[in-house]
Amino acid sequence: MKNLCLILLFFLMQTVSGQNQATTTLYLIRHAEKADFSSNPELSDAGMKRAKSWAAYFEKTPIDLFYTTMYKRTQQTCSAIAATKQKDIIFYKPEAMDLKKIIAENPGKTLLIVGHSNTIPNYINKLLGTAKYADIPEPEFRNLYRITVTGEEIWDELIHL
């Protein structure tokens, strides 16, 4: 009986301390290389190759939801990955993206968000409440940001692939 009480006490302590809370993971990437500098270009050949590389990178990563802007370059980057998972894409307006809201609406899920050189770092900075990440330089397309959220705890990581 004493052992059963200790096990129950341990379980209650874990629950109260938040160890059993759902973990939400966000992956954020910039669109791949664009074909030109027009207002809404498609991906270049190098961009299509990079989009396929992203798909290969995420091949064994379960992703529940995919978010992208309405621009051709972000859609093409995101669809290369989402197609391998047979998932639909959710479109968002760059000015309306709110990571706190997305996290609250999707506890325990894994999401991929494709955006732009100036939006991705800003979304993360807003979530963190600090200016940790600068805009992504124009020739840089290999940044992967991973945000992990459990309860009130937020971990962020920038991975250069």
CB distance 74 to 84 below 8 Å: no
CB distance 64 to 148 below 8 Å: no
Give the torsion sign (CA, 68, 70, 74, 77): positive
Spell out the per-residue pLDDT of the chain, length 161, in tens.
Answer: 554 444 444 454 444 444 568 999 999 999 999 999 999 999 999 999 999 999 999 999 999 999 999 999 999 999 999 999 999 999 999 999 999 999 999 999 999 999 999 999 999 999 999 999 999 999 999 999 999 999 999 999 999 98
Per-residue pLDDT at 117 = 97
Give the torsion sign (CA, 117, 123, 126, 132): negative
C-alpha span between 136 and 134 (Å, rounded) = 6
**CA contacts within 13 A on the Cβ side of 122:** 11
CB distance 133 to 121 below 8 Å: yes
CB distance 142 to 58 below 8 Å: no
Per-residue pLDDT at 20 = 61
Tens of pLDDT, residue by residue over 101-113, are 999 999 999 999 9
For 1-22, give one letter per residue: b (16+ CB within 10 A) or e.
Answer: eeeeeeeeeeeeeeeeeeeeee
Structure tokens at 158: 């920038």
Residues 6 or more apart in contact with residue 6 via CB below 8 angstroms:
none
